[in-house]
Structure 1
Amino acid sequence: MAELLPPRSATDLFGDPIESQPLWFKAASFLRPDFDPESYIADLRSFVPLESLAAELRAHLAALKAELVDLINRDYADFVSLSTRLVDVDSAVAHTRAPLAEFRDKVAAFRAVVDSSLANLCSGLRQRAEASAAREILELLLDTFHVVSKVEKLIKALPTTASDLSTADMASIESSAPNSENALQHIESGAHLRETQSILLERIAMQNLPFIENMEERIQNATLLLDDSLGHCFVDSLEHQDANAIYNCLRAYAAIDDTSAAEKHFRTTIVSPLIQKIIPYSHLHVAGGVSSDGLQEDYQQIMQCIEKACKFILEISSTAHSVVIAISANSGLHVFDFLANSILKEVLFALQKGKPGAFSPGRPTEFQRNYKSSLGFLTFLEDCLQYLSDNILHNPYARFQEIAGALDSALMVTAITTAENLHDSQGKHQKLTLKQSITLMESLRSCWSDDVLVLSYSDKFLRLSLQLLSRYSSWLSSGLAARKVRSANLNPTPNIEWAKSAHVEDFIYVIHDVNFLVSELSGDYLRHVLQLLESCSAKVLDLVKQSILQAGKSLEDLLPPVMDTMIEVIVEKSVEDLRQLKGITATYRMTNKLPVRHSPYVSGILRPLKNCSLLINCINPLFISVCALCKSFVLIRYADFMFCLYFYFYFPNARNELLHGAMERITNRYYELASDLVSVARKTESSLLRLRQGAQRRVGASSDALDNNISDTEKICMQLFLDIQEYGCNLAAIGIKAADIPAYRSLWQCVAPEDKQPQIVF
Structure 2
Amino acid sequence: MASADLAPSRSPTDLFGDPIDDSSPLWFKEDLFLSPDFDSESYISDLRTFVPFDTLRSQLQSHLSSLKHELVDLINRDYNDFVNLSTKLVDVDSAVARMRAPLSDLREKISAFRDSVEASLVSLQDGLRQRAEAANAREVLELLLDTFHVVSKVEKLIKELPTVPADWSNGDLNVVEKNHLSNGISLQESESESNVRETQSMLLERIASEMNRLKFYMAHAKDLPFVQNIEKRFQSASRLLDASLGHCFVDGLEHHDETAIYNCLRAYAAIDSTGNAEEMFRTTIVNPLIQKVIPHGPSGLVGDAAGDQLEADFQEIKQYIEKDCTFLLKISSRENSGFHVFDFLANSILKEVLSALQKGKPGAFSPGRPTEFLKNYKSSVDFLSYLEGYCTSRYAVSKFRAEPVYIEFMKQWNLGVYFSLRFQEIAGALDSALSAPNLVVAQTSLNEAGKIPALILKQSITLLESLRACWSEDVLVLSCSDKFLRLSLQLLSRYSNWLSSGLRAWSTGNTNANPGSEWATSAAPEDFIYVIHDIKLIVAEVCGDYIGHVVQLISSCPAEVLDSVKQSILQSGKCLEDIAPVVIKSITESLVEKSVEDLRQLKGITATYRMTNKPLPVRHSPYVSGILRPLKAFLEGQRAAAYLDNTTKTELLRGTAMEITNRYHELASDLVSVARKTESSLHKLRLTAQRRAGASSDVSDNNVSDTDKICMQLFLDIQEYGRNLAALGVDAADIPSYRLLWQCVAPQDMQNTIAF
**Normalization by structure 1: what TM-score?**
0.51
Question: Among residues 729, 739, 746, which one is paired with 1:745 in the alignment?
Answer: 739
- 2:441 is equivalent to residue 418 of structure 1: yes
Q: How does 1:79-90 map to 2 (within 5 A)?
A: none
Residues 294, 748 of structure 1: alpha-carbon distance in 2 compared, 3 angstrom cutoff: closer
- Cα displacement (A) at 1:338: 6.3
State the match for 1:407 in structure 2: 430
| Structure 2 stretches lacking a partner, 5+ long | 1-286, 296-303
Residues 660, 410 of structure 1: alpha-carbon distance in 2 compared, 3 angstrom cutoff: same
Distance 1:438 1:299 in 2: 47
- Cα displacement (A) at 1:744: 1.7
Q: Contact between 2:290 and 2:352, CA under 8 Å: does it hold in 1?
A: no
- 2:412 is equivalent to residue 387 of structure 1: yes
State the match for 1:340 in structure 2: 384
Question: Among residues 496, 501, 507, which one is paired with 1:478 in the alignment?
Answer: 501
Q: How does 1:180-329 map to 2 (within 5 A)?
A: 240-241=292-293, 265-269=319-323, 271=325, 305-307=352-354
Residues 753, 567 of structure 1: alpha-carbon distance in 2 compared, 3 angstrom cutoff: same
- 2:670 is equivalent to residue 645 of structure 1: no
Deviations 1:502-560 (A, max 9, x none): 33222222221111111101222222222222333333322222221111111122222
- 2:627 is equivalent to residue 605 of structure 1: yes
Residues 730, 236 of structure 1: alpha-carbon distance in 2 compared, 3 angstrom cutoff: farther
- Cα displacement (A) at 1:252: 8.3
**SS in structure 2 of the partner of residue 395 of structure 1:** helix
Distance 1:564 1:474 in 2: 17
State the match for 2:420 in structure 1: 397
Q: Contact between 1:597 and 1:719, CA under 8 Å: does it hold in 2?
A: yes
Question: Among residues 703, 710, 716, which one is paired with 1:716 in the alignment?
Answer: 710
Residues 528, 680 of structure 1: alpha-carbon distance in 2 compared, 3 angstrom cutoff: same
State the match for 1:593 in structure 2: 614
State the match for 2:199 in structure 1: none
- Counterpart code for 1:418: V
- Cα displacement (A) at 1:693: 0.8
Between 430-439 and 583-592, report the one with greater CA deviation. 430-439
Distance 1:294 1:671 in 2: 91
Bigger Rg over Cα: 2
Deviations 1:71-125 (A, max 9, x none): xxxxxxxxxxxxxxxxxxxxxxxxxxxxxxxxxxxxxxxxxxxxxxxxxxxxxxx
Residues 423, 409 of structure 1: alpha-carbon distance in 2 compared, 3 angstrom cutoff: farther
- Cα displacement (A) at 1:310: 7.5
Question: Among residues 491, 513, 517, which one is paired with 1:496 in the alignment?
Answer: 517
CA-atom RMSD, angstroms? Answer: 4.8
How many residue pairs align between the two structures? 454
Q: Contact between 1:440 and 1:469, CA under 8 Å: does it hold in 2?
A: yes
Q: Contact between 2:492 and 2:572, CA under 8 Å: does it hold in 1?
A: yes
- Cα displacement (A) at 1:433: 1.5
**SS in structure 1 of the partner of residue 636 of structure 2:** helix
Residues 249, 495 of structure 1: alpha-carbon distance in 2 compared, 3 angstrom cutoff: closer
Distance 1:416 1:614 in 2: 22
- Counterpart code for 1:386: K
- Cα displacement (A) at 1:702: 1.9
Q: Contact between 1:275 and 1:347, CA under 8 Å: does it hold in 2?
A: no
With CA pairs under 8 Å and 6+ residues apart, which has the higher RCO, 1 or 2?
Answer: 1
Distance 2:343 2:379 in 1: 31
State the match for 1:23 in structure 2: none
Distance 1:237 1:508 in 2: 65
Residues 587, 452 of structure 1: alpha-carbon distance in 2 compared, 3 angstrom cutoff: same
- 2:562 is equivalent to residue 541 of structure 1: yes
Q: Contact between 1:728 and 1:738, CA under 8 Å: does it hold in 2?
A: yes
Question: Among residues 583, 598, 614, which one is paired with 1:577 in the alignment?
Answer: 598
Residues 337, 732 of structure 1: alpha-carbon distance in 2 compared, 3 angstrom cutoff: closer
Residues 308, 281 of structure 1: alpha-carbon distance in 2 compared, 3 angstrom cutoff: farther
Distance 2:566 2:327 in 1: 47
Distance 2:330 2:539 in 1: 58
Q: Contact between 2:308 and 2:361, CA under 8 Å: does it hold in 1?
A: no
- Cα displacement (A) at 1:458: 1.8
Deviations 1:146-178 (A, max 9, x none): xxxxxxxxxxxxxxxxxxxxxxxxxxxxxxxxx
Q: Contact between 2:346 and 2:403, CA under 8 Å: does it hold in 1?
A: no
Distance 1:449 1:429 in 2: 26
Q: Contact between 1:414 and 1:494, CA under 8 Å: does it hold in 2?
A: no
Q: Contact between 2:628 and 2:724, CA under 8 Å: does it hold in 1?
A: yes
State the match for 1:378 in structure 2: 403
Distance 2:412 2:738 in 1: 75
- Cα displacement (A) at 1:653: 2.4
- Counterpart code for 2:403: L
State the match for 1:157 in structure 2: none
- Cα displacement (A) at 1:498: 3.3
**SS in structure 2 of the partner of residue 437 of structure 1:** helix
Residues 340, 237 of structure 1: alpha-carbon distance in 2 compared, 3 angstrom cutoff: closer
Between 476-485 and 695-704, report the one with greater CA deviation. 476-485
Distance 2:407 2:289 in 1: 27
Distance 2:666 2:335 in 1: 101
State the match for 1:725 in structure 2: 719
Residues 436, 661 of structure 1: alpha-carbon distance in 2 compared, 3 angstrom cutoff: same
- Cα displacement (A) at 1:240: 3.9
- 2:485 is equivalent to residue 462 of structure 1: yes
Distance 1:421 1:747 in 2: 42
Aligned-residue sequence identity (percent) comes to 51
Between 432-441 and 747-756, report the one with greater CA deviation. 747-756
- 2:580 is equivalent to residue 559 of structure 1: yes
- Counterpart code for 2:405: F
- Counterpart code for 1:558: I
Q: Contact between 1:412 and 1:494, CA under 8 Å: does it hold in 2?
A: no
Q: Contact between 1:318 and 1:336, CA under 8 Å: does it hold in 2?
A: no
Residues 384, 756 of structure 1: alpha-carbon distance in 2 compared, 3 angstrom cutoff: same
**SS in structure 2 of the partner of residue 598 of structure 1:** coil
- Cα displacement (A) at 1:444: 0.7
- 2:458 is equivalent to residue 435 of structure 1: yes
Residues 348, 310 of structure 1: alpha-carbon distance in 2 compared, 3 angstrom cutoff: farther
Deviations 1:687-735 (A, max 9, x none): 0110111001111122124655432211211211221121111112111
Distance 1:587 1:482 in 2: 41
Distance 1:248 1:515 in 2: 45
**SS in structure 2 of the partner of residue 710 of structure 1:** coil
- Cα displacement (A) at 1:755: 2.9
Distance 1:249 1:483 in 2: 52
State the match for 1:22 in structure 2: none
Distance 1:674 1:493 in 2: 37
Distance 2:403 2:307 in 1: 27
State the match for 1:699 in structure 2: 693
Distance 1:450 1:472 in 2: 24
Q: How does 1:127-206 map to 2 (within 5 A)?
A: none
State the match for 1:98 in structure 2: none
Residues 313, 536 of structure 1: alpha-carbon distance in 2 compared, 3 angstrom cutoff: farther
